[in-house]
Amino acid sequence: MKLIIISNRLPVKISFDESNLMEFSRSEGGLTTGLDSLDMDIEKHWVGWPGADIESDEDKEYVIHHLEKFKFHPVFLTPDQIEDYYEGYSNSTIWPLCHYFYSYIQYENRFWESYKHVNELFCQAALDFIEPGDIVWVQDYQLMLLPQMLRKSTSDISIGYFHHIPFPSYELFRVLPERDELLKGLLGADLIGFHTHEYMRHFVSAAERVLDLRFKLDQVVLNNRIAYVDAFPMGINYDLYYNSIEQTKVKEIASVLKKNYGIHKLILSVDRLDYSKGIIHRLKGFAQFIENHPEYKEKVSLAMIIVPSRDNVGRYADLKTKIDETIGAINGMYSTINWTPVYYFYHSFPFDELVAMYNIADIALVTPLRDGMNLVAKEYLAAKRDKPGVLILSEMAGAAIELTEAILVNPNDITEIENAILEAIEMPEEEQLRRLQIMQQLISKHNVNRWASGFVKELKNIKNKNAALLSEKIDTHTLQIIQEDYRNSDKRLFILDYDGTLVGFKNKPEDAVPTPELLGILEKLASSTKNKIVISSGRPKVFLEKWFGNLPLTLAAEHGAHFKEDGIWYENESLIEPWDEEIINIFQNFVDKTPRSKLEVKDTTLVWHFRNVDNWFSSLREQQLVDALIMPCSRQNLQIMRGNKIVEVKSPHHTKGSEAKRLLGNNDYDFILAIGDDTTDEDTFRELPCSAYTIKIGNISEIARYNIRHQSGVLPFLKQLSENVK
Ligand code: GDG
């Protein structure tokens, strides 16, 4: 078994020595550290773009060869692909969308085409060495189609996906022309992870509405497996930041920095150049603070580190100009011969300098307009070690959910930023330390190792859960076994559900008429004296009698409340009609306030159908209806059941399970076959002996032994059996 990480970039730096020869070194990001520390005896591989434009085949071979020692597998991309897939669809379409920058979203067909193509390239690169049993963990928004591509191309692997940026609300996500493809792409994974439960909730709602899926909180049944969604807030390598400051070299840097900048209170901000980071708002907040609190002039400075990023994308170049201008204006306006309000660094800092900077800063000002998590906030807290310091943090960063002892601000509100700076400057040291320690305790425990191992562990659990669930698909081999068993048996029982099994669902129940083909198959099966053929349905007896009254079948209506044996109908259950007025009124009220839903009144069952109602809305109404029914139904000793897009109220005395029990009676059948698509059919399956062939249509079932994926596969299957009839 191998663990294969797939991300846009490989954690590698390619540089050139004096003779222009390539040199390779691993670059240590949070993810690499987290994975390296995985407490698992597992071989780790990494697939990704090596970060350099490698043109000739000879150079590519050279790179492949040199990366082998790290178990890195490069995907080579052309400059055009980088422009359209990376800078284009990833960073000019998905990135602004996920960060709520609606008007920044660019739609270009070539971006999308390239995105698909590059996801395919990553898929191919991984397939070259993926083997059954492997665990694949796909990282981030550049590869949202990959989970599904991998699932289609190979079986018996576990696929995880982690989304490092926010997932927007459905109302925003729906604007994307490729929304279906992206969601389907992600749902190819067994486990989809987000930093917070908010993003997870947005994803679930988008998938339910766009793909018409129904989640049970964190999980959704997809054909032959369950896909799970969960929140895994990413942590940092806490010990690294906490301990680095004790190293002599870092201490020296810190003392130099302290001399240069520490004469004033120092506020620090560190970001990649990005409009989502709220840099302009932050600068305005700081300027307003100076303006409104002249007593702090010459006493507080802001050190702003901005790491160049994506400067080939137009928006980023514009932002850079705006930042330069704003800082210029602030410094121009407020600087004195003794004081520079804003120190501005537009380049990356070596790690040691960054940690030293974190350590000496009195305040970290982290105010993104949107941020998936924000690791800078956590790194600052760790690097403070035991020195006081205050974190001002945006409510819009994922980190705000965990870091509740920070001063939380709305980053759009300049005055809130101003007030937070004042509060931070004036916060007593004791209070600073109290808050710091609470947050340090949390982030030291929830570190990046725990994040990575938590995700992989969960992925493994899901694999086991899904394996336990998997009913066997009926293929030619199983069909042969069933047929042979059939031939060798003398007393056979068939229990067949009707809607969703023998016929597909129709908008109007009266339209789901049996086809001549179905009637022919049933007639043929029933023609053998060895066979007892039962249609076990929730339908009222009028329908079953109208459609099957002329065939020699056993019919069970309304889950067995009435049944027909040898041509005679029996009442298993005394009629409940007329229905209690209070209950009927509750149902009627829900029909009135839920367009497209309807009530079916049967002799022993009341059914509220909501197949045609919007998913989210019907979940709401379903829950409200069940809540409203609980008291009156318990007074009347009636049972409330949730089915496939229905809510039923019925007598608790009969179910398809009790009907199956009645059918089995004292008979010693040597061949039993039951087919159904609903949870009510699982009641049938449960009552049957282990030797019975229980077949679930559609989604997987914990109880059925076999599975037929689509209703359309049922008649061909029964037809093949009926051809054996003796
Ligand atoms: C994305 C999501 C999510 C920054 N400047 C320097 C430097 N850095 C390092 C920091 C930190 C990293 O870069 C930035 O991480 P963030 O989390 O703050 O932000 P993004 O780059 O936007 O990351 C984000 C993250 O993915 C993880 O899931 O938290 O929300 O947008 O580690 O230390 N490192 C050095 N010099 C610098 O000047 N050495």
Residue 387's contacts (CB-CB under 8 Å, 6 or more residues apart) are 359
At the second CATH level, the architecture of 2-231 is 3-Layer(aba) Sandwich (3.40)
Q: How confident is the model at residue 698 (pLDDT cuts 50, 70, 90)?
A: confident
- What confidence tens digit (pLDDT) does each residue in 318-336 have? 999 999 999 999 999 999 9
> Do 332 and 297 meet the contact criterion of CB atoms below 8 Å apart?
no
Residue 28 pLDDT greater than 70, yes or no: no
CATH of domain 581-650: 3.30.70
Helix (H, G, I), strand (E, B) or coil at 234: coil
CB-ligand 1 contact for 9 (6 Å cutoff): no
Q: Looking at ligand 1, which residue's alpha carbon is closest to its atom 36?
A: 349
- Strand arrangement, sheet containing 158-162: 72-74, 43-49, 2-9, 135-139, 158-162, 191-194, 225-231, 219-222
- What confidence tens digit (pLDDT) does each residue in 419-444 have? 999 999 999 999 999 999 999 999 99
Nearest to 614 by CA among 597, 599, 590: 597
Ligand 1 atom at shortest distance from the alpha carbon of 236:
32
Q: Is 436 exposed, middle or buried (0-12, 13-18, 19+ CB in 10 A)?
A: buried
Q: What is the pLDDT of residue 309?
A: 83
The position carrying tokens 């663990």 is 3
Ligand 1 atom at shortest distance from the alpha carbon of 375:
17
- What confidence tens digit (pLDDT) does each residue in 186-223 have? 999 999 999 999 999 999 999 999 998 989 889 998 87
Is the previous residue joined to 166 through a cis bond, with omega within 30 degrees of 0? no
Q: Which long-range contacts (CB under 8 A, 24 or more apart) does 109-114 make?
A: 110/84, 111/84, 111/85, 112/177, 112/178, 113/84, 114/80, 114/81, 114/84, 114/85, 114/88, 114/89
Q: Which long-range contacts (CB under 8 A, 24 or more apart) does 650-654 make?
A: 650/558, 650/559, 650/561, 650/576, 650/604, 650/605, 650/606, 651/561, 651/573, 651/576, 651/604, 653/573, 654/558, 654/559, 654/560, 654/561, 654/572, 654/573, 654/604
Dump the DSSP string for 607-657. Answer: EEE-TTS-HHHHHHHHHHHHHHHHHHHHHTT-EEEEETTEEEEE-TT--HH
Average pLDDT over residues 337-344: 95
CB-ligand 1 contact for 393 (6 Å cutoff): no
Nearest to 391 by CA among 515, 269, 259: 269
For residue 669 the two structure tokens come to 């059948």
CB-ligand 1 contact for 346 (6 Å cutoff): no
229 CA → ligand 1 middle, Å: 24
> Do 540 and 557 meet the contact criterion of CB atoms below 8 Å apart?
yes
CA pair distance 706, 471, nearest whole angstrom? 5
Higher pLDDT, 413 or 313: 413
Ligand 1 atom at shortest distance from the alpha carbon of 305:
38
Residue 529 pLDDT greater than 90, yes or no: yes
Residue 510 pLDDT greater than 90, yes or no: no
The position carrying tokens 């109220």 is 649
31 CA → ligand 1 middle, Å: 11
603: part of which helix (H) or strand (E)?
none
- What confidence tens digit (pLDDT) does each residue in 514-527 have? 999 999 999 999 99
Query: Out of 377-381, 415-419, 437-441, 717-721, which region has the weakest mean confidence (pLDDT)?
Result: 717-721
What are the structural domain ranges in the chain?
2-231, 239-445, 472-573+654-722, 581-650
CB-ligand 1 contact for 354 (6 Å cutoff): yes
CB-ligand 1 contact for 364 (6 Å cutoff): no
For residue 595 the two structure tokens come to 């367009």
Average pLDDT over residues 672-694: 94
- What confidence tens digit (pLDDT) does each residue in 379-415 have? 999 999 999 999 999 999 999 999 999 999 999 999 9
Q: What is the pLDDT of residue 526?
A: 95
Query: Out of 376-390, 461-475, 577-591, which region has the weakest mean confidence (pLDDT)?
Result: 461-475
Number of other residues whose CB lies within 10 A of the CB of residue 700: 18
Dump the DSSP string for 250-287. Answer: HHHHHHHHHHHHTTSEEEEEEEES-GGG-HHHHHHHHH
* Catalytic residue status for 53: no
Residue 665 C-alpha from the chain's centroid: 47
For residue 453 the two structure tokens come to 């191992």
CB-ligand 1 contact for 282 (6 Å cutoff): no
Please give the backbone phi and psi of residue 192, each rounded to the nearest 5 degrees, phi first: -115, 120
Strand ranges (DSSP E) for 94-244?
A: 135-139, 158-162, 191-194, 219-222, 225-231
Q: What is the pLDDT of residue 19?
A: 80
Q: What is the pLDDT of residue 182?
A: 98
Of these residues, 134, 140, 190, 497, which one is catalytic? 497
Helix (H, G, I), strand (E, B) or coil at 456: helix
Q: How confident is the model at residue 36 (pLDDT cuts 50, 70, 90)?
A: low
Tell me the angle at which helices 351-360 and 375-383 cross, rounded to the nearest 10 degrees: 70
The CATH class given to the 239-445 domain equals alpha beta
- What confidence tens digit (pLDDT) does each residue in 91-127 have? 999 999 999 999 999 999 999 999 999 999 999 999 9
Average pLDDT over residues 467-493: 85
Return mean pLDDT, the chain: 92
Ligand 1 atom at shortest distance from the alpha carbon of 277:
22
Q: What is the pLDDT of residue 574?
A: 61
The position carrying tokens 């792409």 is 185
- What confidence tens digit (pLDDT) does each residue in 540-568 have? 999 999 999 999 999 999 999 999 999 99
Q: How confident is the model at residue 230 (pLDDT cuts 50, 70, 90)?
A: very high
Residue 53 pLDDT greater than 90, yes or no: no
CB-ligand 1 contact for 270 (6 Å cutoff): yes
Q: What is the pLDDT of residue 312?
A: 73
Counting every residue, how long is the chain?
726
CB-ligand 1 contact for 349 (6 Å cutoff): yes
Q: Which residues pair with 555 in a beta bridge?
A: 535, 564
Q: Which residues pair with 191 in a beta bridge?
A: 160, 228
Do the first three CATH levels of 239-445 and 581-650 match, i.e. the same topology?
no
CA pair distance 344, 302, nearest whole angstrom? 8
CB-ligand 1 contact for 373 (6 Å cutoff): yes
Q: Tell me which of 276, 358, 373, 380 to substitute to probe ligand 1's pocket, judged by most ligand atoms within 8 Å of the beta carbon.
A: 373
Residue 82 pLDDT greater than 90, yes or no: yes
Nearest to 693 by CA among 480, 382, 431: 480
Q: Tell me which of 138, 376, 403 to substitute to probe ligand 1's pocket, judged by most ligand atoms within 8 Å of the beta carbon.
A: 376
Higher pLDDT, 475 or 440: 440
268 CA → ligand 1 middle, Å: 15
% residues pLDDT > 70 (the chain): 97
Average pLDDT over residues 637-658: 89
Q: What is the pLDDT of residue 165?
A: 97
Single pTM value for the model: 0.81
At the second CATH level, the architecture of 472-573+654-722 is 3-Layer(aba) Sandwich (3.40)
> Do 44 and 452 meet the contact criterion of CB atoms below 8 Å apart?
no
Indicate if the alpha-carbon torsion angle 210, 214, 216, 219 is positive or negative: negative
